[in-house]
Structure 1
Amino acid sequence: LIVTAPGWKPDKPLFAAAERAGVPVWGDVELAWRLRGPDAAPWLAVTGTNGKTTTVQMLASILKAAGLRTAAVGNIGVSLLDAVLGEERYDVLAVELSSYQLHWAPSLRAHSAAVLNLAPDHLDWHGSMEAYAADKGRIYEGNSVACVYNAADKATEDLVREADVEEGCRAIGFTLGTPGPSQLGVVEGILVDRAFVENRQKNAQELAEVADVNPPAPHNIANALAAAALARAYGVPAKAVRDGLRAFTPDAHRIAHVADVDGVAYVDDSKATNTHAAEASLAAYESIVWIAGGLAKGATFDELVTKSAPRLRGAVLIGADRALIREALARHAPEVPVVDLDRTDTGAMRAAVQEARRLAQAGDTVLLAPACASMDMFANYNKRGDAFADAVRELGSADG
């Protein structure tokens, strides 16, 4: 047996040799699944290109509000092996799974699972978008109660159709619009359930208000609906959904408001490390000075710039692959002023914030949504976000 860390690419010679020799290769998730005890807690699993951590944390908060013993585990930082082998007994686990982890977890069978969205990411690891999507889709294999998909992202529904699930397992959609039967959605500022109710053709259950979601940006409301769908699949009452969402506080660097300076809002979404996440972040604001750039991980930026151009007051570009974004802006938003900072030193973020302030007008949002990884300039996205927040606070203190 070979047990691999999830970051190792499948094309490594060791794995090819193992396949030829008939030696199985597992990841940490597969090992944890196999080592569960006979009375192990069921798994409510979440994957997707973006929003996984937030959704799993929301789900754990909802489950706790229902009085259940639970934990947010997996790719979120708490090892699944620790969760299944530790002394604490859980009723149910909220499990975040990356595409890497799913690739190496062939026998995983969740109670219910969700794929939040699909967009190109980590293609250097998977080799193609098709392979990436197929690994994400593994999360639905063998589900017993619900396969939760994004009604606005047909690729997630296609993965449900292709999955081999237990008899009676249902496809449950979530939408930011009015939900149909077997969906969760939004009606006049209310999150509602038309999936886990009697006579879902005619009835709906109020779960929470949009204002209960923190922050109430569109993509975060979608995260809340997905978390609610998994919790409802497990039998959680509506009140616990509301209470759990109200109790939830997002991690740092996820569309976090840092400060207002001279009527301009400064928002840190350093966690937006790919184009799909950046697109969702940019869609949450009307007039933006965008700070972007870093390591592109093989991504292209034409679609992102085309969709976001009407919202852009200006752009400040940093990092190793900033030229790719600059060229996309030149092609699709030539009227947008662009500052290209040819710096990767520790003071580059301070300079970027100062340039963004120069471009911004009262009522605008200066948004750090890099659409790229951080490792060209920073140890991780947290350090990048901290540098942005420090630079913004310097602006405020200088004014004071």
Structure 2
Amino acid sequence: MTKAKVVFDPFSDEYFTNPFEIYRRMREDAPLYYDEKEDFYAITRHEDVAAALKDYETYSSSRGCDLAMVRKGLSPEMRSIIFMDPPDHRHMRSLLNKAFTPRAVQSQTETVHEVIDKYLGAVDPDNFDVVQDFSGPFPVEVITRMAGVPEEYRQQVRHWIDTSLSREPGQIEVSEAGMQANIDTAMYYFGLVQERRQNPQDDMISKLIAAEIPGEDGQTRKLDDIEICGFATLLGGAGAETVTKLIGSAMVLFARNPEQWKKLKADRSKLAGAVEELLRYEGPVQYNVRWTLKEAHTSGGTIPAGKPVFVMNAAANRDPDAFTDADTFDIDRDQTEAQHLGLGYGIHSCLGAALARMESRVALEKLLDFMPNYEVDWDGCRRVTMQNVAGWLNVPVKVLR
């Protein structure tokens, strides 16, 4: 009997519902996948994905990071670090790294505890939605506070981001509502940058206004408004999506694997390993799309120059050639076996990775205290339908006393 041909449609209901079975078939049967209709490639094996994420001379970020962007190319006003290759990327990265030094992240510990306590303290102690009531609102509060966004706009930033990333099945391009959300975000940050130019504060936007980077002529230059707005938008998006999705997925996975939750309850020193395994097993970032500047060689074959390529981090993280029992969720996993790609890899690895890890550890520890025993209302669970990221929109739980 002939095996049915694997179909990877990143905008299909089947993909939004369960991408991991599709990834398994792609790794086995089509490690270099080609979609004739949409004219894109996809790579899923760990060795290929890790190599691509490091090879910016072949796999360029300069046209964007999703299919619609990469096919069209970027408009000049979309200047963000994730849409840059070296040397521009290197200059921006060295500047922005200063905001996420170990000392800078450590200085946010008190804020993270305060914000998590605020939101967890406000939920119904017997029944609540982990995502809508808790993991949705708190991470964006932390990151936008660092950026300098006033309190009354912090949750609005999250709603704009969610709207811009949302996709209906079959929808590749940004919707009208998504376009408007992008415009509203840009206009909001542009106004905030003007305010900070007039009245600097002790926040990240003010520091970016004051900063200097090397220019093309060898002289240093200041960042312009568009560059600062681009970074502020990226920061809000990464801060709002990563931890939000990770904690929602965590409570689903621990409900499905109760022995792993018991391990955590018995030994809090396992929290760091649990966060790494969550990032590997069901991390929020599913893929990034790159553009081949020249012919690219993979274990499955050759990709021509000038093509969009889905670089599938989440598929690589379940590759049995890289991880023992790759489809098993195990918080005691040997982290040295292979590098998971849950927060990226290479020059575009997540700038705020240390902050995301810290927030996730604190959130899980607080949930262990708040609801050492719980059950998920499976009928009420809903997945998000978004490009690039995956996770849960709703995870209703009942706290067991």
Q: TM-score range by the shorter chain?
A: under 0.3
Relative CO higher for 1 or 2, CA cutoff 8 Å, sep ≥ 6?
A: 2
TM-score by length of 2: 0.24
Q: By percentage of residues, which structure has more helix?
A: 2
TM-score by length of 1: 0.24
Q: By percentage of residues, which structure has more strand?
A: 1
